[in-house]
């Protein structure tokens, strides 16, 4: 049922809470706990109602059981944040994990759902197995709402099902961008990242809704190459060149403005020092572009400064490397300093915004990259559709 979580009353029930706890790890240590802290509002609300919470998530892309992708570090971090024990349940398939009673803490965390092949296949048997662990289902995992998984779709048809605070707020905030009035325009979309093939379907849909589209990141070089530019060793998807050119032609037919980088900060590799700035369509054969250059920063900033509404997904350079971070960080600062309604989505975009220290300057920071793009493209997310259909 699609209902405001603030009105939800599940007092004393055992609730299966699907969260997005897919946090970045380095040698088993959590490097950014944003997704964990984002789930706490719903988790605490359920515990305040006396619910027993069966918390579940995936982590990474394991092929079978992978100890390096265990949710054990997440369980330990949650225990610290909540000030209580959070047992990690590793065997919930072949045994009843609560045969001897539910922990006094009122919360358990299931081991990585993707350790089981039935999760990503939306296997009805695996969904039924999960459903038997609870009497109600709450989905607060917006970041995976576009994935038709057993814990996202299958279980929602088997139990009374509701959205959590994070998921509900995400859909409410992002849906506003689908119904912009004249007073909300110009609407400018800034899209970065590496692969054209991953984002081209979404770009086509954004093309319909946005007034102007700025393209940065490595995927910009596929478009520049398609137009006949020289991009050196920059990342190019050769099998996407024809589609990229067709997209540019489509934009021209629609009268929509697409802006590509004019210049790029280049180097021989990410391991070597940057060697300078070159026109983005005249990069020497020995070099690759890893960030937008100063002319592009100013051009993009000028366009963004005239926007009334902005949506940003994906960095415009390899911002993890300080030599190639300036483009992404400076655009984050310029957007935050402006007056536009500014929404950003995706883990890398959010990481860059936090790195720039300007999170407070954005209207909404979405925890879902792919999910936010698909929602803004007007596509129905499987996880949202399942909740609306009800259990």
pLDDT grade, residue 186 (50/70/90)?
Answer: very high
Please give the Cα distance from 385 to 171 (Å, whole number).
Answer: 12
Q: What is the pLDDT of residue 294?
A: 97
pLDDT grade, residue 31 (50/70/90)?
Answer: confident
Asked if 376 and 148 count as a contact pair (C-beta separation under 8 A), the reply is no
Please give the Cα distance from 366 to 215 (Å, whole number).
Answer: 19
Q: What is the pLDDT of residue 96?
A: 87
Enter the tokens of residue 162: 């509701």
Q: What is the pLDDT of residue 4?
A: 87
Distances (CA, A) of 139 to 35, 111, 211: 14, 17, 33
Catalytic residue IDs: 35, 195, 347, 370
Q: What is the pLDDT of residue 235?
A: 95
180 burial level (CB within 10 Å; 0-12, 13-18, 19+):
middle
Q: Within a 13 Å sphere around the CA of 64, how many CA atoms are in the beta-carbon half?
A: 0
The 3-state DSSP class for residue 5 equals helix
Q: Where are the beta strands (DSSP E) in the chain?
A: 14-18, 25-26, 29-30, 52-56, 88-89, 107-110, 136-139, 161-163, 187-191, 212-215, 230-231, 257-259, 263-267, 274-279, 282-283, 288-292, 309-313, 341-345, 364-366
Per-chain mean pLDDT for the chain: 93
Asked if 163 and 387 count as a contact pair (C-beta separation under 8 A), the reply is yes
pLDDT in tens, 225-284: 999 999 999 999 999 999 999 999 999 888 888 999 999 999 999 999 999 999 999 999
Whether 198 shows a pLDDT value over 80: the answer reads no
Enter the tokens of residue 79: 């225990």
Whether 369 shows a pLDDT value over 80: the answer reads no
Whether 391 shows a pLDDT value over 70: the answer reads no
Please give the Cα distance from 186 to 188 (Å, whole number).
Answer: 6
CA neighbor of 178 nearest in space, from 363, 340, 378, 313? 378
Name the DSSP class of 360: G
Helix 241-254 and helix 219-226, axial crossing angle in degrees, nearest 10: 80
The 3-state DSSP class for residue 52 equals strand
pLDDT in tens, 293-320: 999 999 999 999 999 999 999 899 999 9
Percent of the chain at pLDDT exceeding 70: 100
The 3-state DSSP class for residue 3 equals coil
Q: What is the pTM (predicted TM-score) of this model?
A: 0.83
The DSSP annotation for 196-254 comes to HHHHHHHHHHHHHH-SEEEE-STHHHHHHHHTT-EETTS---GGGHHHHHHHHHHHHHH
Identity of the highest mean pLDDT range in 28-37, 111-120, 179-188, 200-209: 111-120
pLDDT in tens, 36-52: 999 999 999 999 999 99
pLDDT grade, residue 1 (50/70/90)?
Answer: confident
pLDDT in tens, 327-367: 999 999 999 999 999 999 877 888 899 899 999 999 998 88
Helix 196-209 and helix 369-376, axial crossing angle in degrees, nearest 10: 40
pLDDT grade, residue 215 (50/70/90)?
Answer: very high
Tell me how far the alpha carbon of residue 225 is from its chain's centroid: 28
Q: What is the pLDDT of residue 137?
A: 97
């Amino acid at each position: 049922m699609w209902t405001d979580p603030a009105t939800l009353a599940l007092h004393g029930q055992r609730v299966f809470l699907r969260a997005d706890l897919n946090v970045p790890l380095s040698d088993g240590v959590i490097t950014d706990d944003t997704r964990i802290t984002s789930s706490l509002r719903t988790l605490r609300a359920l515990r305040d109602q006396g619910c027993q919470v069966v918390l579940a998530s995936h982590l990474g892309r394991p092929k079978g059981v992978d100890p390096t992708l265990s949710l054990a570090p997440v369980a330990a971090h949650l225990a610290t944040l909540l000030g209580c024990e959070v047992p990690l349940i590793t065997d919930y398939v072949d045994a009843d994990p609560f045969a001897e009673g539910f922990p006094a803490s009122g919360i358990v965390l299931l081991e990585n759902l993707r350790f089981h092949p039935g999760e990503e296949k939306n296997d009805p048997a695996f969904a039924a197995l999960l459903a038997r662990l609870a009497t109600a289902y709450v989905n607060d995992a917006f970041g995976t709402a576009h994935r038709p998984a057993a814990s996202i779709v299958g279980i929602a048809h088997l139990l009374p099902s509701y959205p959590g605070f994070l998921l509900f707020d995400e859909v409410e905030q992002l849906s506003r961008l689908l119904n912009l009035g004249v007073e909300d325009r110009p609407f400018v979309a800034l899209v970065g990242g590496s692969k054209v093939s991953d984002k081209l379907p979404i770009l086509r849909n954004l093309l319909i809704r946005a007034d102007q589209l700025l393209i940065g990141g490595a995927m910009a070089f596929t478009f520049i190459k398609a137009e006949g530019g020289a991009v050196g060793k920059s990342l190019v998807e050769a099998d996407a060149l024809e589609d990229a050119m067709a997209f540019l032609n489509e934009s021209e037919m629609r009268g929509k403005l697409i802006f590509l980088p004019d210049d790029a900060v280049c180097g021989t590799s990410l391991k070597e020092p940057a060697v300078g700035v070159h026109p983005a369509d005249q990069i020497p054969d020995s070099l690759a572009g890893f960030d937008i250059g100063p002319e592009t920063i100013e051009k993009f900033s000028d366009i963004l400064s005239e926007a009334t509404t902005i949506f940003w997904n994906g960095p415009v350079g390899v911002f993890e490397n300080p030599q190639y971070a300036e483009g992404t960080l400076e655009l984050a600062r310029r957007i935050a300093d402006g007056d536009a309604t500014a929404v950003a989505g995706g883990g890398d975009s959010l990481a860059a915004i936090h790195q720039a220290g300007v999170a407070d300057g954005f209207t909404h920071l979405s925890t879902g990259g792919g999910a936010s793009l698909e929602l803004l493209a007007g596509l129905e997310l499987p996880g949202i559709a399942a909740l609306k259909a009800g259990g």
